[in-house]
Amino acid sequence: MRFEQWNPVYERLLADLGYDRGGDERARDRLAVLASPFDLVPLRERVAGATVAVAGGAERLVDDLDVARDADVVFAASVAADTCREHGVTVDCMVTDLDKNPDTARRLTHEGVPVAAHAHGDNLALVESVVPDCDPDALLPTTQAAPVGPVRNFGGFTDGDRAAFLADHLGADSLRFPGWDLRDPTVGAEKHAKLDWAARLLRWLERRRDEAFAPLDGRRPALDADPLTPPYDD
């Protein structure tokens, strides 16, 4: 995903949710100061051609863990990393904006597990408090704004769909989605809006990959009719 492809989608997302691009950029710039360049080669070698389970943080993950166990590689979104590890499933990469389980992010980096740590307008304080405690060699700094210095942008918005975009960037052969619930009835309006964007972005990605993602089953016609769903392009 090139930033030139992502930026028009990002602008629509900001306008729809009422978020401030300047806040994202300030957090990104601070992350750029605190983080070091991350060597993607070892992770790419592990992911390229593999089946990647993109583990989400919904309660159903416990029932879906066999999907993660059967995959070649596991990318865990936020608290999904804890659930996977508690049940003996190896996590190969954690994708997080540091807001729920920062201690897990710190610990994983010191175990040599890559952590894609994301900076956005609402988590500057977490970036400043968590990133310096991480092993810089295992910290992959990311942004949803334009990439700067060591901070990368692979596409995506929520932890889960960013994990899917990262796996795609690294050459995953197929993606599986244990622990996903894009219609979670227990969350509030703001979270619902974020989940709607995750669905739109996953629909964009699955069309680009010519692959069907289970969390979108039953939703594709509505997503394709949604003017905020990014159009397919090459």
pLDDT at residue 186 in the model: 84
The pLDDT score that the predictor gives to residue 234 is 43
Look at residue 16 and tell me if it is in a domain. Answer: yes
Burial bucket for residue 112 (CB in 10 Å: 0-12, 13-18, 19+): exposed
CA dihedral 227, 162, 203, 178 (to 10 degrees): -140
Q: How does pLDDT run across 194-216, given as a tens digit for each residue?
A: 999 999 999 999 999 999 999 99
Count of structural domains, the chain: 1
Residue 231 lies in a domain: no
What residues contact 69, with CB distance under 8 A and at least 6 apart? 89
For the domain that residue 45 is a member of, what is the CATH number? Answer: 3.90.1480
- Domain ranges, residue 103: 3-225
46: tokens are 């592990």
Position 232 in a domain? no
Residue 233 lies in a domain: no
Lookup: tokens for 133: 């405690």
Please report whether residue 102 resides in a domain. Answer: yes
Hunting for tokens 């703001």 — which residue is that? Answer: 190
The reported pLDDT for the residue numbered 184 is 85
Contact between 61 and 178 (Cβ < 8 Å): yes
> Does residue 89 fall inside a structural domain?
yes
pLDDT in tens, the chain (234 residues): 899 999 999 999 999 999 999 999 999 999 999 999 999 999 999 999 999 999 999 999 999 999 999 999 999 999 999 999 999 999 999 999 999 999 999 999 999 999 999 999 999 999 999 999 999 999 999 999 999 999 999 999 999 999 999 999 999 999 999 999 998 888 899 999 999 999 999 999 999 999 999 999 999 999 999 999 998 664
Any domain includes 230: no
pLDDT digits (tens, 9 = 90+) for 81-90: 999 999 999 9
Residue 234 resides in a domain: no
